[in-house]
Structure 1
């Protein structure tokens, strides 16, 4: 019962997407109705031709040609109306799926960062691509075919009862049997199809992971190992697909064809029992034709069960993403001006981790200061930066930006006022211009000044089309250092009041690094700089340095003050000087 309720709930929600274009569906339905009527009239005409012309021996060339002409015209009209209906319906179906795909992508865009920490990217990609494609098949295949079949069945039954009600009653016995088959199919297929969708998403995730890590796989001679892993996952998907194919092969067309054959035998038996004068030959022909027309739509509807079930399972996965909690922000809107940061008794742990990553952090960062976080890997530096970016909700402790609790700040306030340059920046398969501006309007003169600051001008001028040159996928034609320069240029275009650099100069040569340090120092008059660094040479000019270890602040002060203490920072500096 729960599965049935869930089935109808998801189907109803998917169908509601079509309500925006319901007028097009009505037009398609009327076209379908008239097409079916003209198709069904054909056997009635032939029945009349057999009973009243052939058996009455009154055939004349004019009458024969007239019936042939009418029959051909009806078939042409029927085919043309079916064509128009198909065009209208499929065009509408594409619009619906386009809206659904946009909704899924919008939901993904506003997911909390924690979702991407715990869920494989391939699973999300599968929902946006494969699952929405299955729902497209629901509209342009299942619904279109079902509507056509239902209308054709309804008109065929009306025509059958108008010709001979005894035969019509026997013929409609097929309906409860078909419904029973559909319910049985749904019961057994749903759990299998859920596994199929899971394995498809898992395959996508594996392919994405392996292709991105191809250099590591080849470097360590692991091709055979990963080939076997893919084969194992692919085999699991194959086994579940075979279960569905076997279920389809047993419950759908073969079983329905058997039922249709039994009904046909019942009609033959009826004809042999009842006196022949009740039935006319033309009527028998019409019924034979209608029975074929009746069984074929039923078989077609039943054969769509597999696609329908896959679409419902895909819908469940899609709506799970759409309905999942979005990244939460406050409602307070204001422009960050000072860039002042206060942290009180901050404790934080990731949902997947029982241990706290940050422990009792207390910190004050004056506006327009240069602050550095240092510490060994796992000390909590990047986590602290991510909290300042608003990526995770703060549940224990408080973080204030210009005197306002960060949990109360709106999405616009945080995204406009606080930006980060990460160690591994994302480069879009677009031009230099689009990668740097990211949609922000800025004059090329101002842009070139920023490019000069980050030493990108020589690189861009070396490309044939300059700033309008296209970059490869993920910027594969650029070095890691060049990608970081592009990421740095991005934030300088936006002019944030708080700028966080998470090992952003780690892959840049020392000469370029010194130039960038000068550029960052010059913008410090307008921006609070927070630099996460392993190379201590990059932060010697910082106003304040915070040393973290196991999520705790163990030392703080200027570069010279920390060296005098001869503590953790002094040891780190001495080690790097060796």
Structure 2
């Protein structure tokens, strides 16, 4: 009963995806129905031939030729109709899966950032690829097969009762047994199929981790350990698949074939014990033929249970992902005019952590100022940057942008006026132009000006196709510093009111750092700069520096003021000078 409660809502929702193509679906069903009728009429013609021509030992050539012609015509019609219905169902399936994948990707693009913190990327990829592919079978295989099988069963039963109702009643005894087998199969297969989908997603996730971290794995000689890890996960998937195969092998075709054989034996006994002439030979032939054909759709229905179950389980996973909560933003679409920031009594902890990452943060950042947040690893700097971007909902305290609570500002305004340059910028395998424009309307002339501003003009001009030169995957043909300058170039297309640099200078050389500082001086004319820094040389010229330790503000002041205090900042600065 619990299974049915879970089964029907998901199946209904999957079927609703076909609604835009219902006319094509109806046409496909008509072709399928026509093909099924053509198949069922064949044995009736042969039965007529046996009873009225062959058993009479009289050759009616004209009638025989008509029967042969009609029989062959029915078979040809059946072939063509089945071909066309198969094409139509596959077209519908591909379109539906495209729509489902778009919905899944839209859900991924609108997921709160915290959702990516708690679920592996490989699991998400598996939902968008493998799970939707399993659902595809529902539309191009399961639904057509079930409809065709059910149609054939009803037509065969109708033909049986028309020919001989005594034998037809015996044939119907097969149905309660089949229904029992199907229910037992559903009960045992559902948890196994859930495990299969989970293990498959785990395999994808582990492959994703291995490929992304292949340099580290090879550098530290961890190939055997990761090989064993993937082998273990693959073995779990193999065991779950084998359990399903054993269940299929026992409950499906062999058991159904045995039941059909018992019904056939009943026909033979009935035919043997009845008086001569009670049953005609042609009728027996038709029943034996129909029983064989009845056996096949029954087996098909039961076999398709496996595909149906997989589609339902996959649909359950995909819909859970699609229905997962979206990041909530405000509704205020008024543009930010100056870029001032006020952080008041802000405390924050991640969902799976009871311990606070930030404690009672209070800072006023004037418009077009340059403020730096510094501190040791784990002090809460990057968490603060994510909160300023609006990536996480604020529950304790508040952040005000232009004196408006950040929770009240729309997603459009946040993304338009607040931008971030991260420690590891994402570079697309695309042209320089597209990496800067990112789909936004910007002219070639403007891109060249931006490249000059970020000191990449010489590099781009040296490339064979200039701004239309294609960069390699992850920008592997650029240095780390060039990647950072390129990520800043993207920023200059939009002229944000607030620009956040999250450890953007931590992995670059001193020469590139000076170039970035020059660029930031240009940006500061129109934007408020919030720099999260580990390298203190980047923030020497900041209007004021906020020192964090274990999520708390322990010092605030300019570079010189903090050095005179000889506190935590002074120790950090002296350590870096000594290290250099």
Q: TM > 0.5 between the two?
A: yes
CA contact (8 A) 1:343 1:362 kept: yes
Alignment of 1:206-355 (within 5 A): 206-355=206-355
**Alignment partners' CA distance in 2, 1:395 and 1:408:** 13
Q: Deviations over 1:408-427 (max 9, x none)?
A: 11111111110101001112
Give the conservation status (yes or no) of the 8 Å contact 2:500–2:530.
yes
Of stretches 274-283 and 345-354 in structure 1, the one that deviates more from structure 2 is: 274-283
Cα pair 2:93 2:139 within 8 Å, conserved: yes
Deviation of 1:445 after TM superposition, in Å, equals 0.6
The yes-or-no answer on 1:4 pairing with 2:15 is no
Which SS does the other structure have where 1:69 is aligned?
helix
407-416 or 22-31, larger mean C-alpha shift: 22-31
Query: How much does 1:465 deviate?
Result: 2.5
List aligned pairs for 1:40-119, cutoff 5 A.
40-119=40-119
Does 1:477 find its partner at 2:477?
A: yes
1:376 and 1:281 map into 2 onto residues whose CA distance is 93
Contact 2:503 2:534 in 1 (8 A): yes
Residue in 2 aligned with 1:515? Answer: 515
- The CA distance in 2 between the partners of 1:397 and 1:238, in whole Å, is 51
CA distance in structure 2 between the aligned counterparts of 1:522 and 1:217, rounded to whole angstroms: 42
The corresponding residue for 1:464 is: 464
The Cα of 1:437 is off from its aligned counterpart by 1.0
Once the two structures are TM-superposed, the CA of residue 286 in structure 1 deviates from its matched residue by 1.2
What CA distance in whole angstroms lies between the structure 1 residues aligned with 2:361 and 2:345? Answer: 5
Deviation digits for residues 189-218 of structure 1, max 9, x if unmatched?
Answer: 111111111111111111111111111111
Q: 2:544 matched to 1:544?
A: yes
Structure 1 Cα separation of the partners of residues 340 and 530 of structure 2: 11
- Report if aligned partners of 2:343, 2:399 keep a CA contact under 8 Å in 1: yes
- How far apart are the structure 2 equivalents of 1:472 and 1:306? 43
Query: CA-to-partner distance for each residue in 1:290-349, whole Å, 9 max, x for gaps?
Result: 111111011011111111111111111111111111111111111111000001100011
The answer to whether structure 1 residue 179 and structure 2 residue 179 are counterparts is yes
- Do 2:348 and 2:358's aligned partners in 1 also have CA atoms closer than 8 Å? yes
Aligned 8 A contact 1:45 1:71 in 2: yes
- Cα RMSD, aligned residues only: 1.3
| 1:386 maps onto 2:381 in alignment | no
Give, in whole Å, the separation in 2 of the partners of 1:68 and 1:271.
Answer: 28
Task: Give how far 1:278 is off.
Answer: 2.2
Corresponding residue number in structure 1 for 2:440: 440
Is residue 32–residue 151 contact of structure 1 (8 Å, CA) maintained in 2?
Answer: no
Q: Which whole-Å CA distance do the structure 2 matches of 1:492 and 1:154 have between them?
A: 69
After the TM superposition, list the runs of 4 or more consecutive aligned residues in structure 1 that deviate by more than 4 angstroms.
none
Instruction: State the alpha-carbon separation in 1 of the partners of residues 253 and 479 from structure 2.
Output: 58
Paired residues, number: 578
Q: How does 1:554-565 map to 2 (within 5 A)?
A: 554-565=554-565
State the distance in 2 between where 1:36 and 1:449 align: 69
Once the two structures are overlaid, the 10-residue window that deviates more, 359-368 or 346-355, is 346-355
* Contact 1:31-1:81 within 8 A present in 2 as well: yes
2: CA distance, partners of 1:239 / 1:38? 43
Measure, in 1, the Cα distance between the counterparts of 2:432 and 2:153.
59
With the length of structure 2 as denominator, give the TM-score of the two structures. Answer: 0.97
Query: How far apart are the structure 2 equivalents of 1:272 and 1:466?
Result: 90
Name the SS for the 1:308 alignment partner.
helix
How many Å separate the matches in 2 of 1:460 and 1:152?
Answer: 68
| 1:382-407 CA-partner distances (Å, limit 9, x unpaired) | 11110000000000001100010001
Structure 1 unaligned residues grouped into runs of 5+:
none
> 2: CA distance between counterparts of 1:481 and 1:245?
54
Shift of residue 442 of structure 1? 0.3
Measure how far apart 1:455 and its partner are: 2.2
